[in-house]
Chains A and B, each alone.
Chain A
Amino acid sequence: MRRIGYVIPLLIGVITFTFVLVSLAPGDIVTATIGDYPASEEYLAERRAELGLDQPLIVQYVNYVLSALQGDLGYSFANRQEVLPLVVNHLGATMILVVAATVLSITIGLPLGLWAATTRRRAVDNALNLSTLVAFSIPAFWLALMAVLVFAINLALLPAHGMTTIGFVGTPIQRFGDLLSHLILPAAVLAVPETALMIRMTRASANEVLNSGYVLTAVSKGLARGRIIRRHVVRNSLLPVATVMGYTFGTMVGGSVLVEKIFGWPGMGSLLYDSVQRRDTSVVLGVVVVVAVVTLVVNVVTDVVYGVIDPKVREATAL
């Protein structure tokens, strides 16, 4: 629970870093909205003064941090809306996608990783190793396009775009089915590298546990192999995997930008992409801040999950 104390300095650090990066990029929202239309310098200066962009960068920065810490992330001129509700509206869609991908990677990755570690058939272990290598190496954009081509266009099994069918009317269950059919392809694409990571991690940690002293103790009790794996190997193998899951959540949100764009998923990734193009600085910063907060929350949740698995940690964090 000490982590709570890090939240504020960490958030300020993230905001500072993003603020500097966005300021370094050429152009601003004024040039981006006007585009190639010939406008006088006076007009541009007037617009900038209106948006507070004429003030020194440091003043803009301090103002932003102070209001951000109070929950005010500014106003999006491109969307004509407050940033916080705008980002939060898109957060839901991203969460559906990322959580679905996480669930997929856990339900597939953990059993396969354990299988790779405990099987006595070398061929199985080698095949799984090779598959994870391939899964790591495939670029997400290629995989996403192939998924659209094969499953949406050639086989016409699943929709290729959006989160719901436009104008779809039906019972809540039918609407959920519609959402699910839209979810399968992007979630699967996002889950591929995560699943590979999960298999690798689980395999490595299960191998370590299999060579541990307490597994030898279990063997010396004359217990059957399956029982040793169920009662002594599985739980202890999950400890390092649980730690990594918290960290990969952040990278998944990052990875979802591309996947969301390709599948037209109305999440934060799409919002971020569009806002960067429009130089809509306040939204870019807002997305980064919200992602940072979500990642921190997920890490705290990971700590709690870790405590459930490891009695040693449970005792230490109970205070």
Chain B
Amino acid sequence: MTTPAQQREQRALEVSDLDVSIHPFGGTRIHPVRHAFIDVRRGEVVGLVGESGSGKTMLSRGIAGLLAPGLQPRVGGRIVVNGSDLSGAGETRRREALRTELSYVFQDPNAHLNPTMRIGRQVAEAIRPGGRTVEELLDAVGLPATEEFARLYPHQLSGGMKQRIIIACALAKRPALVIADEPTTALDVTIQDQVLRLLRSLADQEHVGILLVSHDLAAIGQFCERVFVMFDGEIVESGPTEDVLWRPRHEYTRSLMAAMREIYDVAAAAPAGTSTVPEPVRES
């Protein structure tokens, strides 16, 4: 029997020297990810940041084996999920891993639920024999754990609720690792925070390792223990979130942080009295 402390030390994911290449239709083979490395412990939320086109999604899909077959993807390097080596694994091994060890949460919840299937069934089909019930899973993601709710169709839910359903599907197999690829980009700002808090609490309570792919540095700073920075297909910097975000060493991370300060610090940096918001009129 392992203690929670030992479980935390267990590696949910270890990736080294990962290369992903694809062959888009009508083009030549390109290498969007080169020599990438990343690791996630159980119970930990790890951030993967980088600009659009830096290869974040290619990296995370390559790990999960979810790249579109039409792209003729080739994934090289070492991938170990919860102790089992998936390097060069075939389709059957890959599917087994997706059935038992690893889950993927997609960007747009509106597109990732089957519109003609009741949400309860969509959660149920991801449950392994002897696993939790649909009601328990709905409860775990903060949704009403009732039969009536499970009988709803996706179009009857809000975007945030749909994303919770997708997270419930991801938890149903009791995975060691959940890869969340920009899980809040398609959601309202207020809902974004709720979903990220949910992921954080799941990491703490269910000892799931979470790889949070995002370009939102504020969210990464708030929810992640460690962060990996990706630039042009390579991991250029990694370490504890504090160090990377506040003492960046790589030129790209520095420019990222500068850009973020420009967005977030304008109000704070503006000297008092120059605010464009009119002072409230006081009655004399």
B95 lies within 8 A of chain A by Cβ: yes
Indicate if the CB atoms of B104 and A214 lie closer than 8 Å. no
Question: Could you say which of B66, B114, B172, B173 has the most chain A C-beta atoms within 10 Å of its C-beta?
Answer: B114
What are 10 of the A-B contact pairs (CB < 8 Å)?
A: A219-B66, A219-B98, A220-B106, A221-B126, A221-B173, A222-B95, A222-B173, A224-B95, A236-B114, A310-B115
Which A113-150 residues have a C-beta within 8 angstroms of B? none
The interface size of chain B toward A, counting residues with CB under 8 Å, comes to 31
8 Å CB contact of A220 from B103, B155, B156: B103
Q: How far is the CA of A211 from the CA of B111 in the complex (A)?
A: 11
Q: How far is the CA of A56 from the CA of B170 in the complex (A)?
A: 75
Q: How far is the CA of A216 from the CA of B67 in the complex (A)?
A: 9
Indicate if the CB atoms of B116 and A309 lie closer than 8 Å. yes
Interface residues of B (CB under 8 A from A): 64, 66, 68, 95-100, 103-104, 106, 108, 111-117, 122, 125-126, 153, 155-156, 166, 169-170, 172-173
Indicate if the CB atoms of B169 and A221 lie closer than 8 Å. yes
- Interfacial chain B residues near A312, Cβ < 8 Å: 115, 153, 155
Other A-B pairs beyond A231-B125, A235-B117, 10, CB < 8 Å: A213-B112, A214-B111, A214-B114, A217-B106, A220-B170, A221-B98, A221-B173, A236-B114, A310-B115, A311-B116
Indicate if the CB atoms of B99 and A221 lie closer than 8 Å. yes
Cβ-Cβ contact count across A and B, 8 Å cutoff: 70
Instruction: Please judge, given known A-B contacts A220-B98, A221-B169, A312-B153, whether A213 and B106 are in contact too, CB under 8 Å.
Output: yes
Contact with B along A298-315 (1 / 0, CB 8 A): 000000000001111001
**Closest residue of A by beta carbon distance from B152:** A311
Indicate if the CB atoms of B115 and A236 lie closer than 8 Å. yes
Indicate if the CB atoms of A311 and B115 lie closer than 8 Å. yes
- Interfacial chain A residues near B155, Cβ < 8 Å: 311-312
Q: How far is the CA of A218 from the CA of B100 in the complex (A)?
A: 14
A90 lies within 8 A of chain B by Cβ: no
Nearest-Cβ distance from residue B186 to partner chain A, whole angstroms: 11
Interface residues of A (CB under 8 A from B): 211-214, 216-224, 231-232, 235-236, 309-312, 315
Nearest-Cβ distance from residue A243 to partner chain B, whole angstroms: 15
Q: How far is the CA of A212 from the CA of B106 in the complex (A)?
A: 12
Indicate if the CB atoms of A222 and B112 lie closer than 8 Å. no
Instruction: Please judge, given known A-B contacts A231-B125, A311-B155, whether A222 and B98 are in contact too, CB under 8 Å.
Output: yes
- Interfacial chain B residues near A311, Cβ < 8 Å: 115-116, 153, 155
- Interfacial chain B residues near A223, Cβ < 8 Å: 99, 125
Q: How far is the CA of A291 from the CA of B170 in the complex (A)?
A: 52
Nearest-Cβ distance from residue A138 to partner chain B, whole angstroms: 32
- Interfacial chain A residues near B116, Cβ < 8 Å: 235-236, 309-311
**Closest residue of A by beta carbon distance from B114:** A214
Indicate if the CB atoms of A222 and B111 lie closer than 8 Å. no
Nearest-Cβ distance from residue B233 to partner chain A, whole angstroms: 23
Q: How far is the CA of A235 from the CA of B98 in the complex (A)?
A: 24
Q: How far is the CA of A221 from the CA of B169 in the complex (A)?
A: 8
Q: How far is the CA of A183 from the CA of B250 in the complex (A)?
A: 78
- Interfacial chain A residues near B106, Cβ < 8 Å: 213, 216-217, 220
Indicate if the CB atoms of B66 and A220 lie closer than 8 Å. yes
Give the 5 A-B residue pairs with the shortest CB-CB distance, closest first.
Answer: A222-B99, A213-B111, A222-B98, A213-B112, A221-B126
**Closest residue of B by beta carbon distance from A312:** B155
Nearest-Cβ distance from residue B112 to partner chain A, whole angstroms: 4
Q: How far is the CA of A224 from the CA of B94 in the complex (A)?
A: 11
Q: How far is the CA of A213 from the CA of B114 in the complex (A)?
A: 8
8 Å CB contact of B108 from A213, A219, A310: A213
Indicate if the CB atoms of A217 and B169 lie closer than 8 Å. yes
Indicate if the CB atoms of A212 and B169 lie closer than 8 Å. no
Nearest-Cβ distance from residue A313 to partner chain B, whole angstroms: 10
Question: Could you say which of A211, A310, A311 has the most chain B C-beta atoms within 10 Å of its C-beta?
Answer: A311
8 Å CB contact of B117 from A212, A231, A315: A231
**Closest residue of B by beta carbon distance from A239:** B116
Nearest-Cβ distance from residue B114 to partner chain A, whole angstroms: 4
- Interfacial chain A residues near B166, Cβ < 8 Å: 217
**Closest residue of A by beta carbon distance from B64:** A220
- Interfacial chain A residues near B68, Cβ < 8 Å: 211
Nearest-Cβ distance from residue A249 to partner chain B, whole angstroms: 24
Nearest-Cβ distance from residue A125 to partner chain B, whole angstroms: 14
Indicate if the CB atoms of B114 and A218 lie closer than 8 Å. yes
Q: How far is the CA of A315 from the CA of B155 in the complex (A)?
A: 10
- Interfacial chain B residues near A213, Cβ < 8 Å: 106, 108, 111-112
- Interfacial chain A residues near B113, Cβ < 8 Å: 214, 217
8 Å CB contact of B114 from A220, A224, A232, A309: A232
- Interfacial chain A residues near B126, Cβ < 8 Å: 221-222
Nearest-Cβ distance from residue A309 to partner chain B, whole angstroms: 7
